[in-house]
Amino acid sequence: MSSKRNAIIAGVCGAAFVAYCFYFDRKRRSDPHFKEKLRQCRRKKICSEKSGPAQLPDLTDRKAVQKYFLEEIQLGEELLLQGELDRGVDHLTSAIAVCSQPQQLLQVLQQTLPVPVFQKLLTKLPTISQQIISSRPLTEDGVE
């Protein structure tokens, strides 16, 4: 008897939740500014994605470099999964450029990435690495 009662209560709660979802969705869509808000949100998202790889961290700060590395790897993987190969490769290349052991990372990426994507990564790597080297501050005697 108790299990029957619990099943009925669960069913009523489930139906109430679904009804609330329909009500909320209808109210949201009937808002006169709904489409305008939706367009603004999409514009913000597109603008933030167009910015490309994040700004380089202070290369002398180990924690900042590590955080930047992890963020770039994660962003690169997500973009590759979404099918945005160029942007994903850009982020992975930035991560490789600040990595303390780039050869090991390249070996792992070679095993996990499809060949065309890995080739694209290798072609972009010198450009990104040169940008990072040129952004590093030099010491007084001109040697890093």
Kindly tell me the burial class for residue 59, based on how many C-beta atoms sit within 10 Å of its own C-beta (0-12, 13-18, 19 or more). middle
pLDDT in tens, the chain (144 residues): 688 999 999 999 999 999 988 888 888 888 888 878 877 877 776 655 554 555 777 778 888 888 988 999 999 888 888 888 888 898 898 888 888 888 898 899 899 898 998 999 889 888 877 776 666 654 444 444
pLDDT score for 141? 43
pLDDT score for 138? 47
pLDDT score for 140? 41
Q: Which two tokens stand for residue 28?
A: 């949201």
pLDDT score for 139? 44
Cα gap 28→99, rounded to integer Å = 46
Q: Could you tell me which of 118, 71, 113 has the C-alpha nearest to residue 94? A: 71
Task: Determine the angle formed by the axes of helices 102-112 and 85-98, rounding to 10 degrees.
Answer: 150
CA-based R_g, the chain, Å: 24
Please state the pTM of the whole predicted model.
0.56
SS3 category, 31: coil
